[in-house]
Amino acid sequence: MIASLTGILKQKSPHAIIVDVHGVGYEAAVPLTTFDRLPSENETVHLWTYTHVREDALQLFGFSTVDEKNVFLLLLGISGIGPKLAINILSGLPLAELVTAVQKGDIVKLSSMPGIGPKTAARLALELKEKILAAAPQALTTAGPVSEKDAQKIEDAVSALVNLGYKSPLAKEAVKKVLRSGNGGADQKFGIEELIKETLKVLSRT
């Protein structure tokens, strides 16, 4: 089993990447949260990976953190959730929000993710509530609090970016990345228009 990869990022898209390791190209599916953290093409990248073996295929899934990989493996343990749906779940919410939603039993938020209905959301909350924080111990400690003003900025900016054609999870991660960098947070002088401009710069690099 391939547990991790370190090599040159030869190609990337929001759903799959190719990593060159000593002349061998490994294709791996990645969640949007990992995609957002990838370096530019032809730079070195490290991924924690999971190898999914079926009779007719061998698939590789990559993650930027051990926590993401651990939660992915937890999701695979739930009846009815396969690798593709597990990747969609990790793409649908930042890991900290996913952990919090599961712990609080927030069925509305969990069922807002693509491919997840109320029944599956309830099963997620029930089966993972006691396990998810142990699998992702860094998720909440590294996320940092989001102020009320920043929360409104995020919502407004994501809405505008979706109208421009970007997918909501990717747009949300990019907006939060800008806020974490200090370029456009609630305490900054400029407002939503500047935040959107900064976010578009981030999205253009991905």
Q: Please state the rounded mean pLDDT for residues 102-128.
A: 90
Q: Residue 101 domain-assigned? A: yes
What is the pTM assigned to this prediction?
0.68
Q: Please state the rounded mean pLDDT for residues 132-161.
A: 71
35 and 79 in one domain? no
From 63, 82, 110, give the residue that closes a domain.
63
Cβ atoms of 87 and 29 closer than 8 Å: yes
Is the pLDDT reported for residue 183 higher than 90?
A: no
CATH of the domain at 50: 2.40.50.140
Mean pLDDT of the chain: 84
Q: Which domain holds residue 47?
A: 4-63
Is the pLDDT reported for residue 184 higher than 50?
A: no
% of the chain beyond a pLDDT of 90: 37
Number of domains, the chain: 3
73 and 54 in one domain? no
80 and 93 in one domain? yes
Q: Residue 50 domain-assigned? A: yes
Kindly report the number of other CB atoms within 10 A of residue 63's CB atom.
25
* pLDDT range class, residue 145, cuts 50, 70, 90: very low
Cβ atoms of 88 and 68 closer than 8 Å: no
Q: Residue 206 domain-assigned? A: no
Check residue 59 and give left, alpha or beta (phi > 0: left; psi -120 to 50: alpha).
beta
Is the pLDDT reported for residue 25 higher than 80?
A: yes
pLDDT on residue 147: 52
Tokens, residue 198: 């900064």
* pLDDT range class, residue 55, cuts 50, 70, 90: confident
Q: Strand 44-53 and strand 4-12: pairing? A: antiparallel
% of the chain beyond a pLDDT of 70: 87
What is the per-residue pLDDT across 152-180, written as a single tens digit (0 to 9) for each? 777 888 888 888 888 887 787 778 777 76
What is the per-residue pLDDT across 65-92, written as a single tens digit (0 to 9) for each? 999 999 999 999 998 899 999 999 998 8
Residue indicated by tokens 């343990």: 77
176 and 134 in one domain? no
Q: Residue 189 domain-assigned? A: yes
pLDDT on residue 170: 79
Is the pLDDT reported for residue 43 higher than 90?
A: yes
How many helices (H) and strands (E) the chain has is answered by 11, 5
What is the per-residue pLDDT across 56-66, written as a single tens digit (0 to 9) for each? 778 999 999 99
120 and 178 in one domain? no
139 and 103 in one domain? yes
Sign, CA torsion 176/179/183/186: positive
59 and 77 in one domain? no
99 and 41 in one domain? no
pLDDT on residue 71: 94
CATH of the domain at 168: 1.10.8
